[in-house]
């Protein structure tokens, strides 16, 4: 069956309907949709239960379009050739219901929690290992990784390539061609694939990312395959194009007095037998008072220090950011020892340790992001903008209103226990 674009509202609902809601528990949220065009997704965010509710299917794609701007680019734009692909992994019981370990790794500490959920089947737009019949022409795929914990290293066989035109919720400045790319949980990439270049009648979208990423187990024969494209034989004219330039946004602006700089440290805690028990940001639980209180409309510099062995996709609510560089930490064990004692990057002399090799940011990820992969044993420097990036205008709502926002690792099992911190805005 062909995967189809996911609707921008919950399946089965109607505008104004209250299907499934409990009396007196409804709440209406209005989205202004004034930001730049791009691809987003929405999902449940219940404290401590996000991973469970997303496994149950509370996710959806959300595409914002601006025809007056986008039609001039010449990219595939028609609904038939512009498709969201919401990709995730699941395990199933024999009756078809979703399987999740009911006990978890440490049930006496955190019932039902496991460090990462990995499913046996790869699902695209609600169908396990689907196929899609395509014509010999360009297609645009807005690929959303909606997995709880699985990273994907996507490639496509038969010599086909990806042309990246967007990353997360924004366009990139110039198209970038790749043979493969890594997509973390909650990351989005917007690519064009030209099936007219295929010499065969089919192509397979595959995955080669280890799990956990980057140093876990290799993928098996089941989860290395994502979906199949059946390519029609007839060649046809294609009026779509890929322009040399796409959309350029203003660069991150710093005030005359300089931007506020923060150090954000990621920790993992284990039991005496080295079993993961929980994860914290800056050594603090979610319930601890907010320490990140940016002013609306400002730009800040965040140095994110990953002291764990996992790659953590960091997501900042209401913030878009540009990744400047990733630098390897040297003498990591010595630095960890100091951080475990003082939990203070400056006091521990982080700049003495952040002198290792630098990892280049992939060309297709050098634009504005709202999720990025924080490499283990590295410090990642980002410029975070707390306003609309296409105009530098403030939000059309009061961002300082309670209960506020959050930033967190988007491995849902980590977020739920408890790699998430409050984000409180000020004027």
Predicted pLDDT at 18: 38
Residue 390: the pLDDT is 79
Cis peptide before 290 (omega within 30 of 0): no
pLDDT digits (tens, 9 = 90+) for 342-358: 999 999 999 999 999 99
Q: Is the pLDDT of residue 10 over 80?
A: no
pLDDT by residue (tens digit) across 350-379? 999 999 999 999 999 999 999 999 999 999
Task: Report which secondary-structure segment, H or E, holds 322.
Answer: strand 320-328
The answer to whether residues 323 and 304 touch, using CB atoms and an 8 Å cutoff, is: no
Taking residues 304-322, report their average pLDDT: 96
Q: Would the pLDDT of 15 be above 80?
A: no
Is the pLDDT at 89 greater than 90? The verdict is yes
Q: What are phi and psi of 340, to 5 degrees?
A: -65, -30
* DSSP state letters, 128-163: ES-EEEEEESEEEEEEEE--SS--EEEEESTT--EE
What is residue 406's predicted lDDT score, i.e. its pLDDT? 97
pLDDT given for residue 17 in this prediction: 33
Q: 83 by DSSP, 3-state: which? A: strand
> Phi-psi category of 413—alpha, beta or left, where left has phi over 0 and alpha has psi -120 to 50?
alpha
CB neighbours of residue 100 within 10 Å: 18
- Residue-level pLDDT at 3: 31
Tell me the per-residue pLDDT of 207-218, one tens digit each, with 9 for 90 and over: 999 999 999 999
The residue-averaged pLDDT of 84-88 equals 98
Tell me the per-residue pLDDT of 260-297, one tens digit each, with 9 for 90 and over: 999 999 999 998 888 899 999 999 999 999 999 999 98
pLDDT digits (tens, 9 = 90+) for 25-73: 777 888 888 888 999 999 999 999 999 999 999 999 999 999 999 999 9
pLDDT in tens, 390-409: 777 788 899 999 999 999 99
- Strand 276-281 and strand 299-306: the pairing is unpaired
Question: Using CB atoms within 10 A of its CB, is residue 405 exposed (0-12), middle (13-18) or buried (19+)?
Answer: middle
Stretch 308-323: mean pLDDT: 96
Rounded to 5 degrees, φ, ψ at 301 are: -105, 120
What is the average per-residue pLDDT within 220-236? 93
State the DSSP code for 73. Answer: G
Highest averaged pLDDT of the listed ranges 8-12, 142-146, 386-390: 142-146
pLDDT over 50 at 183, yes or no: yes
pLDDT, tens digit (0-9, with 9 covering 90-100), for 121-168: 999 999 999 999 999 999 999 999 999 999 999 999 998 999 999 999
* Residue 244: per-residue pLDDT: 97
pLDDT for position 258: 66
Of the listed ranges 5-19, 183-197, 215-229, the one predicted with least confidence: 5-19
Give the pLDDT confidence score for residue 255 in this predicted structure.
61
Q: Specify the DSSP element, H or E, that contains 55.
A: helix 50-55
Domain ranges of the chain: 38-235, 260-423
Q: Tell me: pLDDT of 22 over 80.
A: no
Tell me if domain 38-235 and domain 260-423 are identical in fold. yes
Nearest Cα neighbor of 169 from 150, 192, 140, 144 is 144
Cα 72 to chain centroid distance, Å, stands at: 28
Q: How confident is the model at residue 75, as a pLDDT?
A: 97
Q: How many residues does the chain have?
A: 427
Instruction: Tell me the pairing of strands 82-90 and 138-145.
Output: parallel
281-305 burial: b if 16+ Cβ within 10 Å, else e: bbebebeeeeebebeebbbbbbbbb
Q: Which residue has the higher pLDDT, 353 or 104?
A: 353
Q: Is the pLDDT of residue 21 over 70?
A: no
Report percent pLDDT > 90 for the chain: 78
pLDDT (0 to 100) of residue 63: 95
Joined tokens for residue 279: 């994860």
Mean pLDDT of the chain: 91
Report DSSP state, residue 396. Answer: S
List residues bridging with 422 in a β-sheet: 406
DSSP letter at 363 equals G
pLDDT computed for residue 107 by the predictor: 85
Architecture label for domain 260-423: Sandwich (2.60)
What's the CATH superfamily of 38-235? Answer: Cupredoxins -  blue copper proteins (2.60.40.420)
Q: Binning pLDDT at 50, 70 and 90, where does residue 224 land? A: very high
Is residue 100 predicted with pLDDT exceeding 80? yes
Burial class (CB in 10 A: 0-12, 13-18, 19+), 19: exposed
Q: Inform me whether the pLDDT recorded for 12 exceeds 60.
A: no
Structure confidence at residue 23 (pLDDT): 67
């Amino acid at each position: 069956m062909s995967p189809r674009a996911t609707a921008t509202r919950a399946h089965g609902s109607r505008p104004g309907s209250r299907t499934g809601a409990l009396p007196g528990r409804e709440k209406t949220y209005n989205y202004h949709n004034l930001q730049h065009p791009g691809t987003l997704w929405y999902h449940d965010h219940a404290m401590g239960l996000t991973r469970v509710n997303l496994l149950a299917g509370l996710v959806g794609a959300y595409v914002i379009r601006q025809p007056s701007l986008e039609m001039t680019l010449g990219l595939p734009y028609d609904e038939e050739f512009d498709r969201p692909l919401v990709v995730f992994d699941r395990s199933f019981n024999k009756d078809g219901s979703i399987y999740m370990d009911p006990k978890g790794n440490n049930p006496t500490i955190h019932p039902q929690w496991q460090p990462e959920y990995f499913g046996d089947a790869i699902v695209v737009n609600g169908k396990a290992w689907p196929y899609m019949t395509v014509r010999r022409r360009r297609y645009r795929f807005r690929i959303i990784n909606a997995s709880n914990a699985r990273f994907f290293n996507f490639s496509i066989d038969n010599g086909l390539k990806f042309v990246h035109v967007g990353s997360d919720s924004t366009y990139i400045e110039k198209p970038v061609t790749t043979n493969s790319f890594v997509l973390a949980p909650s990351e989005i990439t917007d690519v064009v694939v030209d099936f007219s270049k295929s010499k065969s009648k089919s192509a397979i979208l595959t995955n080669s990312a280890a799990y956990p990423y980057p140093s876990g187990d290799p993928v098996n024969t089941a989860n290395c395959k994502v979906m199949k494209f059946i390519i029609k034989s007839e060649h046809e004219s294609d009026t779509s194009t890929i322009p040399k330039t796409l959309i350029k946004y203003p660069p991150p602006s710093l005030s005359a007095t300089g931007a506020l700089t923060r150090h954000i440290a990621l920790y993992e805690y284990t039991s005496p037998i080295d079993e993961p028990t929980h994860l914290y940001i800056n050594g603090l639980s979610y319930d601890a008072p907010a320490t990140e209180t940016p002013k609306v409309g400002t730009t800040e510099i965040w140095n994110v220090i990953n002291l764990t062995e996992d790659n953590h996709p960091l997501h900042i609510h209401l913030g878009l950011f540009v990744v400047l560089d990733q630098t390897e930490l040297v003498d990591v064990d010595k630095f960890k020892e100091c951080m475990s004692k003082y939990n203070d990057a400056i006091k521990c002399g982080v700049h003495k340790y952040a002198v290792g090799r630098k990892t280049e940011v992939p060309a297709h990820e050098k634009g504005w992001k709202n999720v990025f992969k924080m490499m283990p044993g590295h410090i990642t420097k980002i410029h975070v903008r707390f306003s609309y990036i296409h105009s530098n205008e403030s939000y059309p709502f009061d961002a300082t209103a309670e209960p506020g926002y959050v930033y967190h690792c988007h491995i849902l099992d980590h977020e739920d226990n408890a790699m998430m911190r409050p984000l409180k805005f000020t004027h």
